Amino acid sequence: MPKVKLYNVEGKAVGEKDLSASIFGVKVNPTLVHEVMVGLMANARQPLAHTKTKGEVRGGGKKPWKQKGTGRARQGSIRSPQWPGGGIVFGPRSERDYSKKINAKTKRKVLCMVLSDKVSSDKFILVESLEAKNGKTKEVTSMLGKLPAKGKLMLIGAGKNEMLARSTRNLKKVNLVNVGSVNINDILRAEYVVTTPEATDKLEKMFATTAAPEVTTAKAPKAPKASKKA
């Protein structure tokens, strides 16, 4: 069972907390993590590039010149692809779909993998409480500066906290999310994950494996009845 140190707001270790092995002790499969990340990025992609075909470009209803007798090549519309300002052939279209299917169980498993990787590399920090009573940035900056965490940080709160959100709003390297909004992308981008025991317990309840179904024993077949003699 994995364990992590518990720190107070002064940055001193005050104890340890046991974590669920089914969530924070999962073996990491880099190939599977990469596959899910590619799928998530593809699902978030928006096909904004769009070119118009010959039928969508405005104008070009009149034939440029008559079919024969001019010595020039025959043309039917100034909006044909060979004309400047004409339609585009095989250009990008906004109807393209980049989305990929990701199984819910696979996505959940990868989320546990990236959390387990943070725990195994000592980049999962537990603090007794994440609060900012006055909503000032210096309160959170002072607390985080005392913790053994540097670089980009991901703070996971147990619930909605307006004062904490206000105090972290101006910190570019700090990303505050609630337990229900934890995602794979934010965890991978952060160097350290800072959270509380309360939020950790909620994570364990949220991603806990369902109980195994009851096993029913098959009934033994009945013995055939003996035939009556005539």
Predicted confidence at residue 139, as pLDDT, reads 87
Whether 116 contacts 33, CB under 8 Å: no
Query: Domain 3-45+99-206 falls in which CATH fold?
Result: Ribosomal Protein L4; Chain: A; (3.40.1370)
Helix residue ranges per DSSP H, the chain? 21-24, 30-43, 104-120, 137-145, 162-168, 184-189, 197-206
Predicted confidence at residue 215, as pLDDT, reads 38
DSSP assignment string, 153-166: EEEEESS--HHHHH
Query: Where do the structural domains in the chain lie, given as residue ranges?
Result: 3-45+99-206, 47-97
Predicted confidence at residue 230, as pLDDT, reads 41
Predicted confidence at residue 213, as pLDDT, reads 39
Whether 108 contacts 94, CB under 8 Å: no
Which residues of the chain, if any, have pLDDT below 50?
210-218, 220, 230
Residue 50 corresponds to which tokens in the numbers above? 């769009």
Handedness of CA 158, 30, 192, 2 (dihedral sign): positive
Predicted confidence at residue 11, as pLDDT, reads 83
Predicted confidence at residue 222, as pLDDT, reads 58
